[in-house]
Amino acid sequence: MRNFLLARLLQAGLVAIVVGALCFVLMRVLPGDAAMRIAAGRYGPDARIAEAAEKVRLELGLDRPLAAQFLEWLGSLLRLDLGHSLVTGSPVVHELKVQLGASVWLAASALALSLLIGPVIGLFSGLKAGGAIDRLGLAGAAIFRAIPPFVLGLMLMLVFSKQLGWLPPAGFGSPREMLLPALTLALGLAAMSSRVMRNSVAAVAKAPYFAFARYKGLPESVVVLRHGLRNAAIPVVSYTGLQAVYLVEGVVVVESLFAYPGIGHALVHAVVERDIPMVQGTALLMGLMFVVIATIVDLLTQWLDPRVRRTA
Amino acid sequence: MRTLRVLFTAVALGVTAALNPAHAAVLKVAGPWEIAGTDPAQTGYVFSRLQVAETLVTANHEGNLVPALAKQWSVSSDGLIWRFTLREDAQFHDGTPVTPQAAAASLKRALAGVGVLSQAPLGEITSQGRDVVIRLTKPFSALPAYLVHFSTIVLAPSSFDAAGKVTQIVGSGPYKVKSLTAPARLELQASGRWWGGKSAIEEVSYLAVGQGETRALMAESGEADLVFSMLPVSVNRLKANPKLDVQIATIPRTRILKVNAASPFFDQIEERQAISAAIDRAGLTKVILRNADLAATQLFPPAMKGWNSPEVQPLVRDVDKAKELLATAGWKAASDGILEKDGKRFSVTLLTYSSWPELPPIATALQAQLRQVGIEVKVSVGNSSEIPARHQDGTLEMGLISRLYSIVPDPVGTLLQDYGPGGSDWGSMGWDNKEIQSVVEQLAATSDAAARAPLQSRAVEILQRELPSIPVTWSELAIVSNKRITGVQVDPLEVNYGLSAIRWAE
């Protein structure tokens, strides 16, 4: 166990350096003048950007040698200092706290909601594969997977905000505002996880040990809970881990639609505006989150299926 | 099963209660602008529009300059020394008085930064008695108009850190900042110290909502009382809603085609006139902007009194004339219909950007319209900084841009930039016209309305004939308010949204 965590810690350090270096190189090989982009990001399209860009170039020392700039970033990183945003001027850590924090909350809510929907439908579909619930579940999954998130989001807004007046179509800060964007994401996620769960349950339901549990005369609920769920959960846990990663980094459209100040939205702005410390800080933290999520998934899988530990 | 039902009902009741908190008396405002930082040159407009911070001078809805923190101003006979006398009763939100020293310090900071002040011929900013004294290096009549700009907001000394960086906005307006969660939310509270009296609404909450469709839904669902900048496609639907009021004003912003008059495609006046004649402005505005009145028949919209001239020949569509003009300029159609001259095809790239969502669709419409007269256009949508960048390195052929003529309320400020020698980022390119330069210089030096009128007409005439930038459409600003509030007025210059005058409806 200790070795396992130590390996993961090493992996995290490696990820930090590789991600940092990659971002550094990629941001600098992008076409276009960084000072111009930063100036446009700061002062908007009505400003005299060319003149502002000269001031930006001087202020930020963008003309210094690349190696010096990279070493400086690495040095700051060792002191756990992610620097300041080139556009807003506030510390990157502060921006991440607000925006990555908001995204993590949104992702967690979406994941929790999707787990309430997907695996439950998957369980009932899988237990009677080919039955009515299974076919309905398949149709629902196909529909919700096929609708792009911004269309689904707009539909939910029309129903819950405009028609019913229950939930606000935008904003952040309270569960009331989180519900619609979380539901938009959760429906898409549940569409997939319900099918993964269904296949997994169907496989378990056909397994000899499952039949044996019934022959023993165990009540159906005990058969499903003790012998079905745990075995069927393994692929779902792995898949949910992947979904969590996708959620944190890939929800730009939903964040923009619901005016939710998440990291996806911030990262797109940062790349367009060449806000290098912000991009590096975000990528770094996301890389580390990937390692953490993978670790959690591995630990959960080991707990669910002790055979993994023995063969490892 | 019964337990389940009870449980479900309990949860449903709980959720409903949590979702519908008692109506609090907060004015909820939504707009498209994100608040990226507190530097006035960057986001001062949010704080000026929402009446947190004030400038020395402001503009009323007709565009006339009126007192704000300065109760009066005067200029020396040689036009070089301006005195702005501050009102005695103004206080910052931290309780300290608005002194000429504090105002001068704010302005000096603005002068050193990126805002408009650095573009005026400013020498020295000092304070004397109740006055802020500004010395110029040459006469410049538009100075008070420059002091309306949001980058010149006057902030309390407590707004700055030791290095002179703005760390918080401590202004003098009717509302003070309660909390700011960049980039999306700003909560305001009535300051209770404002010289202009008490505001009727105690608390205001601003939310930045980037998507136009979401903003419309915010208004329709009653989640926002006041929503700015509606998309043309939503306006009719919102007008039909009995709970909402929609107000629309033409703003001094024009979408123009910036052409490189130094390139072989646009160096002749006939070529630029032909492009203008090929554009179907009425069709464009009717379909994309849903308002045919926005067709820009000249550079400045009718709302800009003295700058919109009824005498100039309006720019209208005339495809035959366009073809004729192009033929005069020496362009002949090749076998595929695209024009050629000296073996060179009339094929150009039209660069635009998506900061304004309507620009890319307008660009593609222009592409189709120009094809009809034999001009091949490739549309390229990039970042707004590409236009100045390509202007600087001389590679821009054609750009579709949205230009604001009230960056300061006197358009002379913008004209000085745009049509001066060598042109500018958002103005002419490769077009040098000595007459307009002299006209604009004269305009900048005099504030006498009678002397300015003929100069303004002359400037408009030159721009209309020479077309260094080709006007395409004017712009409008649509504001939606809930019937829960009254007293909402649209400010076409977008200087101040007058929140302090808004009241809850009876």
Give tens-digit pLDDT for B37-91: 888 998 999 999 999 999 999 998 888 899 999 999 999 999 899 999 999 999 9
Query: How many CB atoms sit inside 10 A of residue B425's CB?
Result: 25
Same domain flag for B414 and B500: no
Q: Which residues in chain A are closer than 8 Å to B182, comparing Cβ atoms?
A: 88, 90, 95, 98
CA separation for the pair B240, B238 (Å, rounded): 5
Query: Does a structural domain hold residue B163?
Result: no
Q: Report the residue from B184, B356, B417 with minimal CB separation from A48.
A: B417
Q: Judge whether B475 is closer than 8 Å to chain A, CB to CB.
A: no
Whether B14 has a pLDDT exceeding 70, the answer reads no
Low-confidence ranges of chain A (pLDDT < 70): 249-250, 308-312
Whether B13 has a pLDDT exceeding 50, the answer reads no
pLDDT score, position A250: 59
pLDDT score, position A129: 84
Q: What mean pLDDT is predicted for residues B226-241?
A: 92
Window from A145-149, B216-220, B228-232, B444-448 with minimum mean pLDDT: B444-448
| ipTM of model | 0.82
Same domain flag for A208 and A166: yes
- Which residue in chain A has the smallest CA separation from B223? A168
Q: Residue type at B188?
A: L
- Measured in degrees and rounded to the nearest 5, phi and psi for residue B207 equal -125, 130
Query: Does a structural domain hold residue B436?
Result: yes
Same domain flag for B328 and B287: yes
Q: Which residues in chain B are closer than 8 Å to A171, comparing Cβ atoms?
A: 185, 207, 223
Q: Which residues in chain A are closer than 8 Å to B482, comparing Cβ atoms?
A: none
Q: How much of chain B, in percent, has pLDDT values that exceed 90?
A: 73
Eight-class DSSP state of B158: G
Report the residue count for chain A: 312
Same domain flag for A5 and A143: no
Dump pLDDT digits (tens) for B349-362. 999 998 888 999 99
Same domain flag for A84 and A97: no
Same domain flag for A305 and A189: yes
Whether B143 has a pLDDT exceeding 70, the answer reads yes
Same domain flag for A246 and A161: yes
Q: Which residues in chain A are closer than 8 Å to B220, comparing Cβ atoms?
A: 161-162
CB A251 within 8 A of CB A262: yes
Dump pLDDT digits (tens) for B387-417. 999 998 999 999 999 999 887 888 888 898 8
Domain stop point among A68, A89, A110: A89
DSSP state letters, B100-138:
HHHHHHHHHHHHHSSSGGGGS-EEEEEEETTEEEEEESS
Dump pLDDT digits (tens) for B168-198. 999 999 999 999 988 889 999 999 999 999 9
Name the helix (H) or strand (E) containing A181. Answer: helix A175-206
Name the helix (H) or strand (E) containing A54. Answer: helix A49-60
- Measured in degrees and rounded to the nearest 5, phi and psi for residue A236 equal -65, -40
Q: Compute the C-alpha angle B260/B261/B265, nearest 5°.
A: 80
**Distance from the A203 Cα atom to the nearest Cα atom in chain B, whole angstroms:** 30
CA separation for the pair B417, B436 (Å, rounded): 12
Q: What is the mean pLDDT of chain B?
A: 91
Dump pLDDT digits (tens) for B316-352. 999 999 999 999 999 999 999 999 999 999 999 999 9
Residue A275's CATH number: 1.10.3720.10
Domain stop point among B113, B130, B158: B158
Contact A170 B213 (CB under 8 A): no
Dump pLDDT digits (tens) for A95-143. 888 888 888 889 899 999 999 999 899 988 988 888 899 999 999 999 9
Whether B5 has a pLDDT exceeding 60, the answer reads no
Same domain flag for B192 and B264: no
Same domain flag for B437 and B487: no
Contact A162 B389 (CB under 8 A): no
Q: Judge whether B182 is closer than 8 Å to chain A, CB to CB.
A: yes
pLDDT score, position B247: 94
Q: Report the residue from B20, B217, B402 with minimal CB separation from A169.
A: B217
- Which residue in chain B has the smallest CA separation from A34? B385
Q: What mean pLDDT is predicted for residues B481-505?
A: 92
Same domain flag for B33 and B139: no
* Domains of chain B: total: 3
- Which residue in chain B has the smallest CA separation from A159? B221
CA separation for the pair B169, B91 (Å, rounded): 14
The B residues from 408 to 437 touching A (CB cutoff 8 Å) are 417, 424-426
**Distance from the A254 Cα atom to the nearest Cα atom in chain B, whole angstroms:** 11
Same domain flag for B314 and B409: yes
Residue B216's CATH number: 3.40.190.10
Best of B221, B234, B353 to mutate (most A CBs within 10 Å, chain A)? B221
Contact B217 A41 (CB under 8 A): no
Residue B461's CATH number: 3.10.105.10
Same domain flag for A45 and A59: yes
Q: Judge whether B372 is closer than 8 Å to chain A, CB to CB.
A: no
Query: Does a structural domain hold residue B165?
Result: no
Same domain flag for A29 and A154: no
Whether B6 has a pLDDT exceeding 70, the answer reads no
**Distance from the B412 Cα atom to the nearest Cα atom in chain A, whole angstroms:** 15
Structure tokens at A13: 């350090």
Q: Judge whether B101 is closer than 8 Å to chain A, CB to CB.
A: no
Same domain flag for A121 and A172: yes
Same domain flag for B143 and B227: no
Same domain flag for B141 and B233: no
Dump pLDDT digits (tens) for B290-321. 999 999 999 999 888 889 999 999 999 999 99
Kindly report each contact of residues A30-34 with a partner whose C-beta sits within 8 Å and lies 24 or more positions away, as own/partner.
A30/A274, A32/A274, A32/B383, A32/B385, A32/B386, A32/B389, A33/B385, A33/B389, A34/A62, A34/A274, A34/A276
Same domain flag for A22 and A99: no
Residue B84's CATH number: 3.90.76.10
pLDDT score, position B22: 41
Same domain flag for B338 and B415: yes
Same domain flag for B294 and B391: yes
> How many contacts, defined by CB atoms under 8 Å, are there between A and B?
142
What is the DSSP pairing of strand B226-228 with strand B26-31? parallel
Domain stop point among A56, A89, A122: A89
Same domain flag for B461 and B487: no
Same domain flag for B40 and B82: no
Whether B466 has a pLDDT exceeding 90, the answer reads yes
> Best-predicted range by mean pLDDT among B110-124, B412-426, B429-443?
B429-443
**Distance from the B223 Cα atom to the nearest Cα atom in chain A, whole angstroms:** 6
Q: What mean pLDDT is predicted for residues B448-466?
A: 93
Same domain flag for A247 and A288: yes
pLDDT score, position B303: 81
pLDDT score, position A48: 82
Q: Report the residue from A44, A166, A257 with minimal CB separation from B214.
A: A257
Domain stop point among A27, A59, A89: A89
Owning domain of residue B405: 253-475
Same domain flag for A61 and A103: no
Whether B482 has a pLDDT exceeding 80, the answer reads yes
CA separation for the pair B213, B211 (Å, rounded): 6
Where does the pLDDT of residue B285 fall: very low under 50, low under 70, confident under 90, or very high at 90 and above? very high
Contact A50 B388 (CB under 8 A): yes
Q: How much of chain B, in percent, has pLDDT values that exceed 70?
A: 95
Owning domain of residue A212: 93-310
